[in-house]
Amino acid sequence: MEKEYNWNKLYRIAGLAALLIVLIIPFQVLIFSLFPPPEDSTGFIELFHENWLLGLLSLDLLYYFNNLFLVLFYLGLYASMRKVDFTNMLIALIIGLTGIAVYYASSIGFEMLALSKQYYQTDSLEFKQQLISVGQGLILKYKGTAFDVYYVFNAIALLLIAKTMFKSKEFGKAAATWGLIAGLFMIIPSTAGSIGLIFSLISLIPWIVFSVIVGLKMLAMTKNQKHNDVRKYAHSQES
């Protein structure tokens, strides 16, 4: 019973994580819509000086938490469908977690904050120019290979999860279909010009639906498991 309870606890955490991911998305979209991020390092240096919190939000501060919740979501999905297709789910988990780890390596929010502080603390024009160049290098890193790997790896993980979910009785074909659609639109990174941006925005709709359906089903699985545990305990006491 203890082992089942541990899985049950993970389902609950993963279900809540999925719903928190959904709540973060509109806030991030709203921030980018109302306050479009600067295009160069000079703009970011000025933004951080004027409003350090908005600067961090413009460089994906909310996604630091989003991807933490995504790790918990992936773990719950693996646990809940490990018996459906162990190989698929293990590969999906490894690819997804690898992508998230790479994403954190590419984040530059706090580096840019420190750089902005140095910029306004020095009077040397030469040093200021060097800091601007360093900032431009950070932006290239932020939009470069690591981010694309994170994006595509998570798309592949989602496609594997959706494929497995089609065979799962707990989640059903509706959730699997929404996950499949989201994964297909996520194959092209958001950094790939206009088409990448369009695909990333479109992918949010099926991803939100998928996350809500799966998150709620995981919470329902938690309640069902508790009910089954109570029944088993009552039966054992009668015996």
Whether the predicted pLDDT of 228 surpasses 70:
no
Q: For position 5, what pLDDT does the model report?
A: 54
User: Chain-centre distance of CA 206, in angstroms?
Assistant: 14
Residue 43, in any domain of the structure: yes
In tens, the pLDDT along 191-213 reads 888 899 899 999 999 999 999 99
Specify if 163 maps to a domain: yes
Least confident among 50-59, 156-165, 201-210, 227-236: 227-236
Predicted local distance difference test score (pLDDT) of residue 235:
44
* Residue 58 is assigned to a structural domain of this protein: yes
Rounded Cα distance between 210 and 175, Å, is 5
> What's the mean pLDDT in 18-27?
95
pLDDT in tens, 104-153: 999 999 999 999 999 999 999 999 999 999 999 999 989 889 999 999 99
Report pTM: 0.87
Residues 6+ apart with CB under 8 A from 212: 18, 19, 22
Token digits for 58? 């413009």
- 234, pLDDT greater than 50: no
Residue 73: which domain range?
2-234
Report CA-CA distances (Å) from 138 to 13, 116, 152, 202.
Answer: 34, 12, 21, 28
Residue 82 domain flag? yes
Q: How many angstroms from the chain centroid is the CA of residue 106? A: 14
Distance CA 148, CA 124 (A): 36
Instruction: Please enumerate in sequence order all residues whose Cβ is within 8 A of that of 68, keeping only pairs 6 or more positions apart, or say none.
Output: none
The verdict on residue 93 lying in a domain is: yes
Please report, rounded to a whole number, the percentage of residues in the chain having pLDDT higher than 70.
91
In terms of Cα–Cα distance, which of 95, 115, 71 is closest to 155? 95
pLDDT at 225 over 90: no
Average pLDDT, the chain: 90
Q: What is the pLDDT of residues 168-182, one digit of tens each?
A: 989 989 999 999 999
pLDDT at 79: 94
Dihedral angle computed from the Cα positions of residues 20, 25, 31 and 32, in that order, rounded to the nearest 10 degrees: 150
**CA–CA separation, 132 and 65 (whole Å):** 28
pLDDT higher than threshold 80 for residue 4? no
pLDDT band at 236 (very low <50, low <70, confident <90, very high): very low
In a domain, residue 239? The reply is: no
Structural domain tally of the chain? 1
pLDDT exceeds 70 at position 229: no
Per-residue pLDDT, 175: 96
In terms of residues, how long is the chain?
A: 239
Averaged pLDDT, 37-66: 95
